[in-house]
Chains A and B, each alone.
Chain A
Amino acid sequence: MKEFSYKKLAFLIIAFMSVVTLVIIGCVIYFGNSMFRILEEGENEGITGKHYAFICETGQEGFYGSIYEGAREEAEKNGDYLENMGGNHAFSRDKFELMELSIDAGVDGIIINAGESEAMGELIGRADEKGIPVITVGSDNTSSARKSYVGFGYYDLGVNYGKELLKSATDEKKTVLVLMSPDAEDSSQNIIFQGIRETIERSDATGSFKLETMAVPDTSAFGADESISALIMRDDELPDVMICLNEIYTTCVSQALVDYNRVGQTIVFGFYENSTILSAIEKNIIFATVTMDTGQMGRYCIEALKEYEETGYVNEYIPADIRVITADNIDEYLSEKNGEDKDDEI
């Protein structure tokens, strides 16, 4: 009886010890790991390659945002880092300041939607002097020391708009209003307009369209929306066709048409796409939009920088594919896009 008890006791002690030891070992492993995770978080990420800057105009985050994403992904493949100069700052700065900042920070390369202005040309020159290659994207600064331009030809874009316009030609003469930004220095819009006009002039339907332009006043921060609302709200007849030359105008127009119940009273040609624009096309609020493969544009930018670094030369103009989306092909476009997203996820 006594011996049995002591055996039992010994067994209890051993069992107890092993359980506690196991628990302690478990604790050590679990907490060691979780602490380790906290300590080592992000240790694998780091900039092993170059540090590039991406600068774009504020307010165009949709279009340029996806270009940035495409470029960033491409850069990360090489261990490079693409900094979104405008996106990181608590204080908003215009692209000139951001350009200056990037030059002073001594980045390894700059991707910018430059725009045709002299001031930008000078800044690009300064960057070049400091040995920083500049790639323009979306809007060029032709006369500057930029190494390459990635984007669509403005004239081509105009031709595309023109061709779409011609599809709606009837005997009746139509007024075409092109909404432009009031930036006088930005000649790109003029080139687009020229493309539209010349396409129409060259066609048989020259007399069917009356082209007009309107600079959308955006003196205040959210001026564009107000001006466009005011335009649509007016009691008099809307132009037969409206062409928007950027994403914001397109979105504002489609929203205003719905808000003031004037859908169907005008044919809208948009620029680029976002969820609002795409659903507006599906509902026939917008007739067509012209877009580009932004991911491809981003990739091209980084490729151009890499090529320049390696060889010292790069193509001056790298064209992006222009694509027109209408209600007829939107399903195809959407399924392609979803497919891409899925690929990205994988």
Chain B
Amino acid sequence: MTRSEGSPKEKSTVQTNMITLTVVTSMIILTVNIVLFFYISRAIDVINQVYSTNVTIGEMSDALNQVRNSMTDYLNTKSTDSMEQYFDACQQYRDYLSELSLKGQGRDTEAILQDIEGLSDTYLSVADETIQAKRGRVVEKYNNGYERSEKIYEYINSYIYNLNNEQFRRNSEKYSALRASLRSLAAVTMSVIVVVAFVNILLTSVMTKNIMDPVRQREIVMETHLKDAELKYLQAQINPHFLFNTLNAGAQLAMLEDADRTSDYLQNVAAFFRYKIKGEDKETTLEQEIALVDNYIHILNVRFSGDIHFDKELDKDCLSVAVPGMILQPIVENAVNYGIRDIDREKHIILKVERLPELIRVRVEDNGVGMSADRIREVMAGNAGDNPIMKDSNGVGLVNVMSRLRLFYDREEVMHMFSEGKDKGTIVDILIPVNEPEE
């Protein structure tokens, strides 16, 4: 019964644990991946940032070149197109220049940028003056202006070259630092994943071991139980119905034929077996136990032609006490089978129920063959070997009765057995503590 209650509980614990394990490991792997993703995207940002300045510098250089070309073109041709181109290029160059921010890249870079800005201002103003001079056809002025602008152009270019170099140097440093940190990030992530996988395997194996073993064991036990239960179920269904129907039919037949004794007999038999089928594990009352003994003696007296004299001396107040089922009948059966069956004198069995202080004593006394003291000791110690007394005469032996009494009342002192010797009869006492079971 306890097993069938425990199973769903265990199942749910197992399920919870499995789910917990899966969720935990998934969460960990997810976290690791999120961290990895976060850093990779940050690294990409850094790299982008690193190279975006180089790109801007390149574009700026192109724009400067465009300014120079369009100016030269204008000086050559004085065309409106080149004039427009010149102004566009100037604007573009200024835009790139203001866009290029190198804050936080070190003093050297910042200084170079400041120089480029200063030189560019000078260059653009010289270029403007030169264009104006060309418009006004002041030949010498625009020639000088052109030469000067060429020089400044060269300075700017060399600074841009410097800037690119400086950037490249810094970026290489950044890149290698970045690469190193990414490499170690990958290593750490890998090891975290490996650890997660390893521990996962470990946990799973520990868990499946825990789950699988009891599951398999329980499966086998359950199967056995099921078969057992099936068998018992069938027995319980077939036996009593068949038996009682049969016996009742016999009793009715006897009554119809006016065979009252036969009818009585059959009814006693039916009562006896009904009680027996109810089982020995059930709690019952002393009164019912005594009724069963009455039935039994009735049946036996039919079998043995009424030569067992059964006498009862009962304290009526004690009959309602609770006792385990099937404790009296086996003792009486013993007294019949091994005490009085083979004697030639009158066969007597006396059942006494007496109230003693704190105890009810149920005594079964016979005038049979008696027992030696050694035998009594052996029987009471429960190691009677293959002695017939130990054998289950009708399903229940003396030792069985004794051990059930001990369990039921939770005390050692439950039964006494006396005999004064050969042919002096045997006395078996059952000692029922009063009130003690309730405590």
Contacts and interface: CB of A to CB of B under 8 A. Distances in A.
B112 interface: yes
Interface stretch (A41-49, A150-158, A225-233): A41-49
B107 A46 contact: yes
Contacts of A12: 199, 202-203, 206
Given A31-B39, A35-B46, A107-B115, A16 B199 contact: yes
Given A90-B161, A91-B158, A6 B13 contact: yes
A62 to B, nearest CB: 22
Contacts of B35: 24, 27-28, 31
B13 to A, nearest CB: 6
Interface in A74-90: 81, 83, 88-90
A105 B118 contact: yes
A61 B185 CA distance: 45
A260 to B, nearest CB: 41
A17 interface: yes
A27 B191 CA distance: 11
B21 to A, nearest CB: 7
A29 B322 CA distance: 75
A34 interface: yes
Contacts of B228: none
Nearest to A76: B107
A265 B31 CA distance: 81
B203 A24 contact: no
Nearest to B42: A35
A264 to B, nearest CB: 47
A233 to B, nearest CB: 40
A38 B181 contact: yes
Contacts of B389: none
B165 interface: yes
A2 interface: yes
13 contacts: A13-B24, A16-B24, A23-B192, A27-B185, A31-B181, A35-B46, A38-B181, A39-B46, A45-B107, A46-B106, A47-B107, A47-B110, A105-B122
B158 A90 contact: yes
Contacts of A30: 188
B212 to A, nearest CB: 12
B214 interface: yes
B110 A13 contact: no
A46 B104 contact: yes
B119 A105 contact: yes
Given A5-B210, A39-B46, A89-B158, A104 B118 contact: yes
A20 B17 contact: no
A81 B116 CA distance: 15
Interface string B75-111: 0000000000000000000000000000111111011
Interface string B146-190: 000001100100100110010000100010011001001100110
A17 B24 contact: yes
A101 interface: yes
The 6 closest A-B pairs by CB, nearest first: A106-B118, A43-B104, A105-B118, A42-B106, A105-B115, A104-B122
A40 interface: yes
B143 interface: no
B195 interface: yes
Given A2-B214, A23-B195, A105-B115, 13 more contacts: A2-B10, A12-B203, A13-B203, A16-B203, A17-B28, A20-B199, A31-B184, A31-B185, A38-B46, A38-B177, A46-B110, A47-B107, A105-B118
Contacts of B112: 88
B121 interface: yes
Nearest to A28: B35
Contacts of A34: 177, 181
Given A13-B203, A16-B203, A23-B192, A104 B111 contact: no
B103 to A, nearest CB: 7
A10 B278 CA distance: 47
B119 A101 contact: yes
B246 interface: no
Contacts of A258: none
A51 interface: yes
A331 B72 CA distance: 63
A303 B25 CA distance: 67
Contact of B17 (A9, A51, A100): A9
B119 A47 contact: no
A17 to B, nearest CB: 6
Contacts of B202: 12
Contact of A42 (B28, B105, B181): B105
B384 interface: no
B178 A38 contact: yes
Given A16-B199, A27-B35, A46-B110, A101 B155 contact: yes
A253 to B, nearest CB: 36
A120 B162 CA distance: 26
Contact of B196 (A20, A47, A83): A20
Interface in B302-340: none
B100 to A, nearest CB: 15
